[in-house]
Amino acid sequence: MSDTVELRIFMLKDVLVVGGRAREHALQWKLSGDTEVGRVYCAPGNGGTQHNVPISETDIEGLARFAKENNLFTVVGPELPIAMGIANHFWAEGLGICAPTREAARLETSKAWCKEFLAGRGIPTPQFKVFDDPEMAKEHVRSVDYKVVVKADGLCEGKGVIVCDSAAEAEEAIERLMVRREFGDAGAKVVIEKRLYGEERSFMAISDGTRIEAFASSRDYKKLQDNDEGPNTGGMGAYSPAPAGPETERQMYDIAWKIVTGMRDEGFPFVGFIYVGFMIVGGKPQVLEINSRLGDPETETLVRRMDSPLFPYIEAAAHSSLDETVRRRGAIRWKNWSAVTVVLASKGYPDRDYARGEAVTFRPMDGMAYIFHAGTKKVGGGIVTDGGRNFAVTALGRDLEYAAYNAYEAVESIRYPSKILRRDIARNVTPAEALQSKA
């Protein structure tokens, strides 16, 4: 073996991706292709991920032990381990990790805290009130002359946001969250927000606590059914690019930067991936939500378009050296292609009464699409369903229309009895110019 080869192998960094959804499969897929990265483990992973480690995403000590024994750098996908303080624990143990601390993650783990933070810094966000008494909350929704969105304060996997068409629906939402406690203590407190009408955009970036490096534009589809009908889900599809016009995009960037520097000033530097969900009304972005992690399924869409390695930016965020890395390597580059993700779920999702263990068959498909697994597992030599969302089929195309065509072709190659999907992902896309006037 030559000296050069030996040196390269010595420098490769092995990585642990925590989680087992399609976003984590996408992160593993992307990181495995980075030249600086060696083996990428996934804990616990799913039926599509490689090098799975049977440690739950909430077993923080078990994950830390595995990372230490194998000298791994850790990247965290889902919100739960972040909310539990995985970053606090890993930092204390001297282990490399890209995830915000429990305190910084309050932007996601308490919607009430987040709204107060935004309002306190003059960051545009819909008018709101916070309640911990259901009767007072109901009185409020009866008294206002606008439609509302009722949001559980705590974590609910994207399902604790109830968009209401009438005061009666809002009262029922309060009953579900605060009285029947469908999401447990996450609904002990609610935020009641004025409902806005516009177009949603997902802004994602990586932050080292001081600076942010933005990802390409994208948007997701949160409702279960076509034409944005049915209940909210974790996300049924996404596409990128999703331009909103240079001025609106600049405003979104400025707001995300204000959030990160605001957190630093509060004494909770935000290190890791940040997701700001915007509603654009008349060209002006307003913050609907902040997540302390990457979006799912937006990540599946974005990794297919990312033309730079991801790991150097992740490592730089953890080492507070994003500026230097961007100076040395340049900003993250994006392929001049479009990408569309269509999520396949099991009938019954987003409730919990869906079938599990259904055998999945795959037919060959063309190379423009890639199947990221979510709720699946390997049994014998095959794949069975094992969750509400099962796959995120992501395809490239020279424009959105082709990418959507390729994704929907690929969707047909996956079969299982309970398969459901939306048929309108990336169809009837609003052009950026139209967003400027849509109110």
Distance CA 365, CA 51 (A): 25
CB of 156 to ligand GLY, least distance (A): 11
User: In this chain, which stretch among 31-39, 193-201, 294-302, 371-379 interacts with ligand GLY, using CB under 6 A?
Assistant: 294-302
Query: What does each C-alpha distance from 261 to 266, 320, 331 come to in angstroms?
Result: 9, 13, 20
The helix or strand, by DSSP H or E, that contains position 340, with its residue range, turns out to be: strand 338-350
Phi, psi of 101 (to 5 degrees): -70, 165
Of 161-220, binders to ligand GLY (CB under 6 A) are 220
Residue 328: name the closest of 307, 308, 303 by CA.
Answer: 308
Which of residues 138 and 201 has its CB atom nearest to ligand GLY in the complex? 201
Question: Residues touching ligand GLY: how many (CB under 6 A)?
Answer: 7
Of 100-129, binders to ligand GLY (CB under 6 A) are none
User: In this chain, which stretch among 138-146, 240-248, 259-267, 293-301 interacts with ligand GLY, using CB under 6 A?
Assistant: 293-301
CB of 310 to ligand GLY, least distance (A): 18
User: In this chain, which stretch among 14-22, 295-303, 380-388, 420-428 interacts with ligand GLY, using CB under 6 A?
Assistant: 295-303
For 224, residues 6+ apart whose C-beta sits below 8 A from its C-beta are: 230, 231, 232, 233, 236, 349, 350, 422
Distance CA 280, CA 278 (A): 6
Note whether 387 and 356 are within 8 A (CB): yes
SS3 282: coil
CB of 163 to ligand GLY, least distance (A): 14
CB of 235 to ligand GLY, least distance (A): 4
> Which of residues 59, 153, 296, 386 is near ligand GLY by CB under 6 A?
296
Which of residues 48 and 158 has its CB atom nearest to ligand GLY in the complex? 158
> Which of residues 48, 78, 187, 235 is near ligand GLY by CB under 6 A?
235
341: which strand partners? 238, 394
Overall residue count recorded for the chain in this entry: 439
Of 332-351, binders to ligand GLY (CB under 6 A) are none
Of 131-160, binders to ligand GLY (CB under 6 A) are 158
CB of 180 to ligand GLY, least distance (A): 23
CB of 61 to ligand GLY, least distance (A): 27
Give alpha helix (H) positions in 267-399: 298-305, 311-318, 322-329
CB of 251 to ligand GLY, least distance (A): 20
Residue 342: name the closest of 386, 377, 304 by CA.
Answer: 304
> Which of residues 193, 200, 298, 300 is near ligand GLY by CB under 6 A?
298
Of 66-105, binders to ligand GLY (CB under 6 A) are none
149: which strand partners? 163, 193
Long-range contacts of 170-173 (CB under 8 A, 24+ apart): 170/138, 170/141, 171/138, 171/141, 171/142
Burial of 57 (0-12, 13-18, 19+ CB in 10 A): buried
> Which of residues 47, 100, 126, 295 is near ligand GLY by CB under 6 A?
295
User: In this chain, which stretch among 136-144, 188-196, 289-297, 395-403 interacts with ligand GLY, using CB under 6 A?
Assistant: 289-297
Distance CA 5, CA 377 (A): 36
Which of residues 59 and 220 has its CB atom nearest to ligand GLY in the complex? 220
57 binds ligand GLY (CB under 6 A): no
The residues that touch ligand GLY, with contacts defined as CB under 6 A, are 158, 220, 235, 291, 295-296, 298
